[in-house]
Structure 1
Amino acid sequence: MHEVASLPDGRVVHAISLRGGGLRATVLTLGVTVCDLRLDGTAHPLVLGCANIADYLTHGRYVGSVVGRYANRIAGARFELDGQAHQLDANFRDRHILHGGSDGVDGWIWQVRDIGVDRVIFELSLPDGHMGFPGNLQIVAELSLQDGALCFDFSAVADKATPCSLAHHGFFNLDGGKDICDHELRIDAESYLPVDDDLIPLADPSMVRNGRFDFRAPKRIGGDGYDHNFCLRDSGGECPVVAELSGKGGLVMQVETDARGLQLYDGAHFDGLRGIGGRVYGRNAGLALETQHWPDAPNRSDFPDAILRPGQTYRHRVNYRFQQRAPRRS
C-alpha cells in the first residue's frame, strides 16, 4: 500500500496492488475504487479509471467505486419506516437521492483491516443520521482476485432499522475501444423496472418479451440509453451467473451474484473524462452492471425488502469473472 494523492480537502489516498487468478488490480482507499484491472495476456485495461484521482469526487464520480449506503435512487429523497418519516439528501436533480447522497461512501477514505497478495478487507463506519438515514452502519468490504474473477463480499450491521444496499459501480470495456456499443450482453431476467423521466421506477415490473430490454439471448448493446434495473430471481443465497458480457475480440465477463437486482447503465454521460493511459472517455465508453437491491425499494412494499434491522447482517456477493474465447465473427 502506498500513498498516491492528497485530495483538495487534505485527505490522503492510498493505492493497493493485488494479483491473483490471472488478474492484476489497483484499488484505492477512496471509495474502494478499482482504478485499474488487467487480465494476463490482454494489453488493455478492462475497466475505466480516472487519470486524476481528484476527478473521482467530481465528473468522474462513481467510476469504479463502491456506492451506498443505498445504491441507486430513492424517490423524493424520503421514505417512511416503522411509522417515522426520514428526509434524505436530495443530490439527484434536487428531488431524489442517488447512491447514498452527496456524501456517499464512494467519497470516503475506507480503513484497511487486512491485506494479502490477492485480497484486501476494508471497513467503514457511517454515523446515525448521515445523509438523513437512521442508524450507525458498520460496513465491511472484502475485495479479492480468484479464478479469473474480481470478487466483492459485502457485509454490514446497524443499530437501527435502515435501508442498506451496497454496489460496485465499475465501468467495463472488454475490447479497449472507444465505446461498448458493439459488445454483446445476455441477462438472465424475465422482467425489468420501467422508469419515469427522473429514472424512478413506475408501477410493477414489466416483462422483457422481445423488446429492447430483452437480453435473454445475447444481443448488441448499441447506444439505446439503458439505465434500468433488471429483476433477478431469488437465488437462495447462491451466486449463479446472471449476466454475460462479450467483446468482439472474444473476451467474456460473467456476472455472478446473490443480489435480486442488476442495474444496466451504458455510460451515456461520459464527455471527455481523462482516463487510464491517456484515454479520453466519451459517450458509452464503458458499461456498468451493478448488482444491488431494487431502486426505491424503501418506498415500495411490493419490491424485495431492502431494510437492514438490528440483529441482522446485510450480505451481498458479486463476482466479475473473465475468460478468453474465440473472437466474434462479423
Structure 2
Amino acid sequence: MTSTPRSGTQFEIRSGEYAAEIASIGATLRALRHDGRDLIVPFDADEVRPAYRGALLAPWPNRVVDGRYAFGGADFELALTEPQRGHALHGLIAWLEFARVAGTDDTLTLAAEIVPQTGYPWRLAVQTTFTIGADGLTQSVRATNVGAGAAPFGTGPHPYLVAGAAPLDDWTFELPARCVLEVTPDRLVPVGLRDVADHDPDRFDWRAPRRIGAAQIDHAYTDLERGADGRAVVRMTDPSGTGVELSWDAACPWVQVHTADLPGGAAQPFHRAGLAVEPMTCAPDAFNAARYDFEPGLVSLAPGAEVEASWRIAAL
C-alpha cells in the first residue's frame, strides 16, 4: 500500500516554462519553477512542511498578540502556536487537509472548512484556486461565512521568494511602501506606523531598488504605491540578471517581509535562503484593532458574505 506523503496529496500544474507543485495540507505551494529555476524555496513532498513555507493563512495572517482578542462584545483566547513569543500565529488552516474540487493541466482548486472551535467559534468555507500561465502563477482565495454571526477574518500567503543563485544579501530588492509597522524587537508586538524615510531608512526604505546586504527585516508594510490596475509589486533580482516578482490586488493593503533570519545564523541550513513576501488583507494583530491608532484592515464577515483576494508570482 502506498502511503500519502507527509505534506499531503500532491498536485502539479504546468504551462509553458512554468511548473508548480502543490500539497494538500494547508493548500501549500511546495515548489514553483520557471525553466527549471526555483522561484520559491521548495521542500520535498515527503517532508513535514517547514514552518509555514508556502502555506495559505486564514482566518488571520501573522499574529494575534498573546492569543487574546475581543470581537462582537465577547472575549476569546486562542492556542499559542508561537510559544517562544507567546502569540497565536498564522491562523487555523495551515495544517488542514484541503480537498480537490476542480482542476486541469494548468489550474487547481482546493477547499477546506474552518469549523467552530475554542477561540474561534465560527464556520467558514475556504476555497483557493491556482492558475498557471505565461504571466506566472496566480493564487486566489475566497472565504465564505457559512455559519451564524459575523466573523473576524484575514488571509494571505507565505512564500519565500528566490531571485537566483547568489546569496540573499546580494539580491536587489524593491518594495513600493511608504510606511512600516514598528514592532518590539523581542516579541514583534505592533507599536505604530512609521514613515520609511524617517524610521531607519537603510533598513526599511526600499522604494528605490538596492542591494539587501545585511538588513534584517521581519516587518509589515502599508501605504503601498500601486499601478493603474490597482496592483502592488515587489521585485527582486540576482546579480546574474534573473529575478522574481510578487504582485497582489487591492484586497491586500499590507505586506509582511522577512529576511528569514534563523536562530543560530548561517549554521542553520535555510538561514536567509529566501525572502518571505506575504501580502495580507489585514495588519499583524488586526483582531485587536481597537488597540491601535491606524486602520488594520480587519474584515467583519457577515453570515453568507464572501471575501476574495489574489496574488501572482512571476519570473523576471
TM-score class normalised by the smaller sequence: 0.7 to 0.9
Helix, strand or coil at the partner of 1:294 = coil
- Answering whether residue 77 of structure 2 is matched by residue 82 of structure 1, we say no
Conserved in 2, the CA contact under 8 Å of 1:195 and 1:228? yes
Distance in 2 of aligned mates of 1:31 and 1:270: 25
- Answering whether residue 143 of structure 2 is matched by residue 156 of structure 1, we say yes
Q: Which amino acid aligns with 1:71?
A: P
Q: Which runs of 5+ in 2 are unaligned?
A: none
Percent identity of equivalent pairs: 22
- Answering whether residue 134 of structure 2 is matched by residue 147 of structure 1, we say yes
CA drift at 1:76 = 1.6
Conserved in 1, the CA contact under 8 Å of 2:5 and 2:45? no
TM-score w.r.t. length of structure 1: 0.83
Per the alignment, do residues 234 and 218 of structure 1 end up closer, same or farther by CA in structure 2, a change over 3 Å counting?
closer
Instruction: Name 2:103's counterpart in structure 1.
Output: 115
Q: Which amino acid aligns with 2:65?
A: A
Q: Which amino acid aligns with 2:81?
A: N
Helix, strand or coil at the partner of 1:193 = strand
Distance in 2 of aligned mates of 1:238 and 1:4: 45
Instruction: Name 2:257's counterpart in structure 1.
Output: 264
More off after superposition, 298-307 vs 167-176: 298-307
Instruction: Name 1:5's counterpart in structure 2.
Output: 4
- Answering whether residue 248 of structure 2 is matched by residue 248 of structure 1, we say no
Instruction: Render the CA deviation track for 1:95-118: whole Å, top value 9, x for unaligned.
Output: 211101xxx322121011101111
Q: Which runs of 5+ in 1 are unaligned?
A: 274-279, 324-330
Alignment of structure 1 residues 1-330 onto 2, 5 Å: 5-7=4-6, 13-40=8-35, 43-51=36-44, 53-56=46-49, 60-92=50-82, 93=84, 95-100=86-91, 104-129=92-117, 132-158=119-145, 159=147, 160-177=149-166, 179-196=167-184, 197-203=186-192, 205-209=193-197, 210-233=201-224, 239-258=230-249, 259-269=252-262, 281-292=269-280, 293-301=282-290, 302-310=294-302, 311-323=304-316
Q: Which amino acid aligns with 1:253?
A: V
Helix, strand or coil at the partner of 1:318 = strand
More off after superposition, 179-188 vs 113-122: 179-188
Conserved in 2, the CA contact under 8 Å of 1:67 and 1:166? yes
CA drift at 1:46 = 1.9
Instruction: Render the CA deviation track for 1:116-155: whole Å, top value 9, x for unaligned.
Output: 111100111011125x113101101011112231111111
* Count of aligned positions: 300
Conserved in 1, the CA contact under 8 Å of 2:174 and 2:208? yes
Q: Which amino acid aligns with 1:16?
A: F
Helix, strand or coil at the partner of 2:177 = coil
Instruction: Render the CA deviation track for 1:202-241: whole Å, top value 9, x for unaligned.
Output: 12x1000044200010111123221100114496995413
CA drift at 1:184 = 1.0
Distance in 2 of aligned mates of 1:192 and 1:161: 30
Distance in 2 of aligned mates of 1:237 and 1:308: 28
Structure 1 vs Structure 2 CA RMSD: 2.5
Per the alignment, do residues 236 and 180 of structure 1 end up closer, same or farther by CA in structure 2, a change over 3 Å counting?
closer
Distance in 1 of aligned mates of 2:78 and 2:128: 24
Distance in 2 of aligned mates of 1:147 and 1:4: 34
Q: Which amino acid aligns with 1:67?
A: L
Q: Which amino acid aligns with 1:140?
A: Q
Helix, strand or coil at the partner of 1:300 = helix
Per the alignment, do residues 91 and 237 of structure 1 end up closer, same or farther by CA in structure 2, a change over 3 Å counting?
farther
